[in-house]
Structure 1
Amino acid sequence: MVETQSISTPEAPQNDNPYSQGVIVDGLLFVSGFGPVSPETMETVNGDIGIQTSRVIENLQAVVEEAGGSLADVVKTTVYVTDMADYDQVNETYGEYFDEDPPARVCIEAARLPDNVSVEIDAIVAIE
């Protein structure tokens, strides 16, 4: 059986669904997808898609930092948007966090995301 370590932080949204915020296995951290939810209020943040994308990445960052890493350690992300017309603005905000040597990435338009949010991102991170 593979040995795993669950990662959890109050700095990212908590819920009672059956999944971990992140799981480390063999030096890789797999971060669950987060929407633009404030960990303090557990409500979706108000604002345009850029503001929402910032909140999503800050949620991911909290889990990565709890595991001892940083956004520079992210090797792959998957970005889910409900409207590909938001792609340019999501990309602009994303680039503010991953500007030098960005991770590999996939962007997918989804018909619907949990809680009807407009953007969600998950990540794979190299943790030493």
Structure 2
Amino acid sequence: MIPRKNISSGSPWEDVVGYSRAVRIGNVIEVAGTTAMDGDVLIGEGDVYAQTTFILQKIERALAEAGSSLSDVVRTRMFITDISRWEEAGKAHGEFFKTIKPASTMVEVSALIDERLLIEIEATAVLPNV
């Protein structure tokens, strides 16, 4: 059996909804949809670039806890509430992934769980030689 490691953010919603911030099975790490909430505090209200930057920092921390890094990311998925602001999100994403260049998707969604959230991001990482 391949060992499984669940990475928790400590959010009370993890037990209520039944999810983990990230899950590592073998050499694959999946990071759940991540928003700009820091506990009960929204980071970067009204600012797509700031929210995206904070989210990618959170994803980076989750990957580190799973024994990985941004350099292992092979795919990101960005869910943005206003596609006309794609360049703000893209700029932040590019700052983190400029040389890594994972496969990436950005789609507009009608809403996220809190109307102040402008973007949510998922990531998949694959560890080499594991």
Q: TM-score if structure 1 supplies the norm length?
A: 0.87
Q: Secondary structure at the match of 1:6?
A: strand
Is 1:45 aligned to residue 43 of structure 2? yes
Consecutive aligned runs of 4 or more in structure 1 exceeding 6 Å deviation: none
Identity %: 27
| Cα 1:69–1:2 shift into 2, 3 Å | closer
Residues 9 and 62 in structure 1, CA contact (< 8 A), matched pair in contact too = no
Superposed CA RMSD in Å reads: 1.7
Give the whole-Å Cα distance in 1 for the aligned partners of 2:40 and 2:65. Answer: 19
What's 1:84 paired with? 83
Q: Secondary structure at the match of 1:65?
A: helix
Residues 8 and 66 in structure 1, CA contact (< 8 A), matched pair in contact too = no
* Runs of at least 5 residues in structure 2 that lack an aligned partner in the other structure: none
Letter in 2 for 1:5: K
Q: TM-score if structure 2 supplies the norm length?
A: 0.86
Alpha-carbon offset, residue 4 of structure 1: 2.5
Is 1:61 aligned to residue 67 of structure 2? no
* Runs of at least 5 residues in structure 1 that lack an aligned partner in the other structure: none
Letter in 2 for 1:15: P
Alpha-carbon offset, residue 9 of structure 1: 4.5
What are the superposed Cα offsets for residues 60-111 of structure 1, whole Å, 9 maximum, x if unpaired?
A: 1110010111111111010000000110111011100001031101111000
Alpha-carbon offset, residue 45 of structure 1: 1.0
Give the whole-Å Cα distance in 1 for the aligned partners of 2:8 and 2:59. Answer: 11
Alpha-carbon offset, residue 114 of structure 1: 1.3
Alpha-carbon offset, residue 57 of structure 1: 0.6
What's 2:124 paired with? 124
Give the whole-Å Cα distance in 1 for the aligned partners of 2:40 and 2:63. Answer: 19
What are the superposed Cα offsets for residues 32-77 of structure 1, whole Å, 9 maximum, x if unpaired?
A: 0111112xx4311134111111011111111001011111111101
What's 1:5 paired with? 5
What's 1:75 paired with? 74
How many equivalent residue pairs? Answer: 123
What's 1:22 paired with? 22
